[in-house]
């Protein structure tokens, strides 16, 4: 079976998770977000969650060996496509992913990386203003604020700042992104499989740009 693989790439706060979700809604492809998977593990206090917690709090990458196993376990083998959000983040994870799919997909399978490009300055501004609710709803104090300050519109829960959205941690996450991610971006660029999208536009416009590119490339 021909399976499609789309990999969303971008700094923290670039909106790649939102775009991955929008694409998943338009297709029947499975979305896999390693950040979400790890946060669920932390919330459920599993063995992996307890280990991952300290990495998430400091913005460091969880060791690769735990990630590959977690991703492999989460794959719905029958899905006609996969959308990755936040994975692979470094060369080791990229190699693991290629190995994971070697037996599962044809050589001709469409595989593309979508880079959501956002400047560091914009990332710091966005993440500093991000608030979350335990129900999963995400707010932005400037662009998407709750009706009542500090309270979730959906469930009435108290909003909080993600530990890894604190200024010191944001700087560290950006450093890790640039350091480890450059080689991954270069890999896709050299293969001619990198789609670069301006992430400093309204969400709907970014989504349209992505859909247009994927149509052009006959992926959808």
Q: Considering the complex, what minimum distance in angstroms separates the CB of residue 59 from ligand AMP?
A: 5
Taken in order 47, 131, 34, 63, is the CA torsion positive or negative?
A: negative
Q: Are the C-beta atoms of residues 52 and 66 closer than 8 Å to each other? A: yes
- Does residue 181 belong to the site contacting ligand AMP (CB under 6 A)? no
Residue with smaller CB distance to ligand AMP, 163 or 208: 163
Is residue 89 part of the contact set for ligand AMP (CB under 6 A)?
yes
Q: Which of 6, 22, 24, 62 binds ligand AMP (CB under 6 A)?
A: 62
* Using rule CB under 6 A, residue 35 touches ligand AMP: yes
Backbone angles phi, psi at 46, to 5 degrees: -75, 175
Residue of 67, 68, 159, 214 that binds ligand AMP (CB under 6 A): 67
For position 7 contacting ligand AMP by CB under 6 A, the verdict is no
- Min. distance of Cβ 187 from ligand AMP in angstroms? 15
49 binds ligand AMP (CB under 6 A): no
154, 126 contact by CB (below 8 A) = no
For residues 182 and 176, give the distance between their C-alpha atoms in angstroms, rounded to a whole number: 10
Q: Which residues contact 107 (CB under 8 A, 6 or more apart)?
A: none
Measuring CA to CA, which residue among 160, 179, 168 is closest to residue 58? 168
146, two tokens: 């709750």
**Smaller CB separation from ligand AMP, 110 or 181:** 181
Q: Which residues bind ligand AMP (CB under 6 A)?
A: 12, 34-35, 38, 55-56, 59-62, 67, 86-87, 89, 93, 164, 173
């Amino acid at each position: 079976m021909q399976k499609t693989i789309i990999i969303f790439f971008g700094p923290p706060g670039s909106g790649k998770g939102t775009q991955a979700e929008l694409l998943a809604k338009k297709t029947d492809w499975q979305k896999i977000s390693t950040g979400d998977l790890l946060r669920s593990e932390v919330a459920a206090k599993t063995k992996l969650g307890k280990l991952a917690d300290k990495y998430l709090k400091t913005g460091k990458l969880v060791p690769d060996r735990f990630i590959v196993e977690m991703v492999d376990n989460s794959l719905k083998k029958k899905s006609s496509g996969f959308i990755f959000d936040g994975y692979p983040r470094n060369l080791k994870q990229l190699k693991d992913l290629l190995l994971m799919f070697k037996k599962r997909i044809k050589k001709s399978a469409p595989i593309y990386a979508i880079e959501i490009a956002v400047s560091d300055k914009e990332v710091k501004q966005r993440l500093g203003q991000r608030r979350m609710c335990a129900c999963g709803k995400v707010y932005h104090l400037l662009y998407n604020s709750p009706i009542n300050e500090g309270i979730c519109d959906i469930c009435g829960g108290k909003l909080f700042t993600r530990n890894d959205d604190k200024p010191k941690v944001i700087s560290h996450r950006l450093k890790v992104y640039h350091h480890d991610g450059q080689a991954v971006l270069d890999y896709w660029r050299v293969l001619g499989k990198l789609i670069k999208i301006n992430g400093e536009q309204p969400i709907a416009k970014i989504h349209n740009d992505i859909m247009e590119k994927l149509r052009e490339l006959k992926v959808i």
